[in-house]
Amino acid sequence: CLCPSSAGNAPVFSAHPSVSGCMFTCCHGNRGGASTPAISAGSLESGALVTISRVADGEPVSVFLDPACPDLSQDFLRLEALHSSLLHALTNHNADDHRNGGAVQKLGDDLKALSGHAHNLRLAADSLKRGQGALDQRMDRLQNEQSRIIQVLSDSHSGILKLAESCSDSLLGLKRETESLGRLKSELSRNIAQTGQPVSAAVQPRDCSDVLASGVSVDGVYSVFPTHDPEGFMVYCDMSTDGGGWTVIQRREDGSMNFFRGWEAYRDGFGSTTGEHWLGLQRIYSLTRSGGYELRIDMADFDNATAFAHYSDFSVGRDSVNPEEDGYPLTVDGYSGTAGDSLLKHSGMRFTTKDRDQDQSENNCAAYYQGAWWYRNCHTSNLNGQYLRGGHASYADGVEWSSWTGWQYSLRFTEMKIRPRRPES
C-alpha cells in the first residue's frame, strides 16, 4: 500500500506483497512541512525487513516479519469457490422457484377444475339417488301390482276349480236324485197299482231318513220337502254312519269356505252341499220345529283321531211362530259319545253372528271369537270358528270342541247331522 504524501496524520498499515509471510507497515502522514521520510532495508541487528525514518528527527519505523503468520491463499481460493457455488445454487434455486411457482399455479388451477368436476359429480350422484328412489318406488308398485294380479289369477283359478267341482258335484247329485226319483216313481206306480189311489204329496221325502226308507242307501245330494216347507231344498244325506238317514246341516273339512259371516248368510245358508257348508237356520228350523230329532256331531283332528258327540234331543226354534225374531233358539239334551259334551251349556241360547249380538256376554261373542253360534257367555264349542289347522296361539277362536281338544286346537273335520229320533234312542 502506498502511504499518502499529504493529508492525514494517522498511520497507514498494509501488507507487503513481495514478502513471504506477514508484514506490518506503519506510515505516518506528512506533518505540515516535515521532510519526506527515508526508506531503507532493515538491518540485521534490528531484524526489521524495512526501516523507515524521517530525515528531520530520525525516528525509525520498523516493519517486522512474523514467521508464524499462516498462508491464507488456499482459504481465499476455497472461499471464492464456495462463493461461486453459492451464487450458482441461488441462481438454480431462483429458477426452481420460478418453475415451482408455475407448477403450483397450474396445480391450483387443476384443483379448482377438479373441485368443479367433483361438485358436478356430486350433483349428478344426488340426481341418480333421487332417480333410484323413484325407480325403487315404481318397482315396489309394480311388484305389488304383480302380486295382486297373481293373487287374482290364483283366486280366479281356485274359484274356477271350485266352480267346476261344484258343478260336477251338482251334476252327480242331480243324477243320483234322478235315480232316486225314478225309484220313487216306480215304487209309487206299484203302490197305485196295488191300492188304486192317486199319488199324494205325502210320499215326498221330508228328510234323508225318508230317502233312506224309500230304498236309497247311497251317500249324496237329495231333495227333501219338510212338512212346513213344501217347496223343498237340496241336502246332503249320510246313508252309512250309524244306520244312515242323516241330514247334514254343517260341514268343515278344508278351510275353503269363509264361516265368519253375518246374520243373513247364517239364516239362509251358504257353501257347497258336497263340501263345506251351513244348511241355514231357517231350513234347520223347518226340519226340527216340531221336535223329535236327534243330533250327531262327527269330528277329527289333524292326527286323524276321531270322536263323536250324540244328543238324543235336538231342535232349533221349537214351536216358535217367528223363529227369526226369537233368534232361532237351540234345544239340546241327552248327551252320549266319545268327544265329551260341549253343547249342553248352549241349550236355550239364541243364535249370535258378528252383526247380531244375542248372547249374554257384555261383548259380542261371535265378533270376539270369530264365528257364529248359540253363544252364552261365551262358549264351550265353536264349530263355526276360524279354520286354524290344529294348535294355535289365539284363544278359543278356531273350530273348537273344548271337552275333546281344549280351546286352542282347531279341528280338521266336523259334520253336524240330524235325523228323526229312533225308538231305541
In degrees, rounded to 5, the angle at the alpha carbon of residue 204 between the alpha carbons of residues 197 and 277 is 175
CA dihedral (357, 362, 365, 366) in degrees, to 10, reads 30
Contact 237, 220 (CB under 8 A): yes
Q: What is the pLDDT of residue 38?
A: 56
Q: Collapsing DSSP states into helix, strand and coil, what is residue 235? A: strand
Q: Which residue, 240, 309, 245, 276, is CA-closest to 386?
A: 276
Structural domains in the chain? 208-420 (3.90.215.10)
Contact 222, 208 (CB under 8 A): yes
Q: Which residues pair with 271 in a beta bridge?
A: 277
Residue 249: how many CB atoms within 10 A of its CB?
A: 24
Burial of 311 (0-12, 13-18, 19+ CB in 10 A): buried
What tens digit of pLDDT does each residue of 286-297 get? 999 989 999 999
Cell numbers 232361532 correspond to 328
Burial of 367 (0-12, 13-18, 19+ CB in 10 A): middle
CA pair distance 268, 283, nearest whole angstrom: 8
Q: What is the pLDDT of residue 60?
A: 59
Q: Which amino acid is at 351?
A: F
- Which contacts qualify for 265-271: CB closer than 8 Å, 24 or more apart? 265/353, 266/351, 266/353, 266/372, 267/324, 267/328
Q: What is the pLDDT of residue 194?
A: 61
CB-based contacts of 272: which residues, under 8 Å, 6+ apart? 162, 165, 166, 169, 257
CA pair distance 270, 293, nearest whole angstrom: 23
Contact 330, 313 (CB under 8 A): no
CA pair distance 338, 310, nearest whole angstrom: 9
Q: Which residue, 285, 165, 155, 312, is CA-closest to 229?
A: 285
Q: Which three cell numbers stand for residue 25?
A: 507497515
Q: What is the pLDDT of residue 182?
A: 66
Q: Which residue, 219, 192, 198, 195, is CA-closest to 208?
A: 219
- Kindly report the pTM of this predicted structure: 0.57
Cell numbers 273335520 correspond to 413
Q: For the chain, which residues score pLDDT lower than 50?
A: 1-34, 55, 66, 198-202
Task: Using DSSP bridges, classify how beta strands 220-224 and 233-238 pair: parallel, antiparallel or unpaired.
Answer: antiparallel
User: What's the length of the chain?
Assistant: 425
Positive or negative CA dihedral for 77, 79, 84, 88?
positive
Q: What is the pLDDT of residue 26?
A: 45
CA pair distance 360, 349, nearest whole angstrom: 9
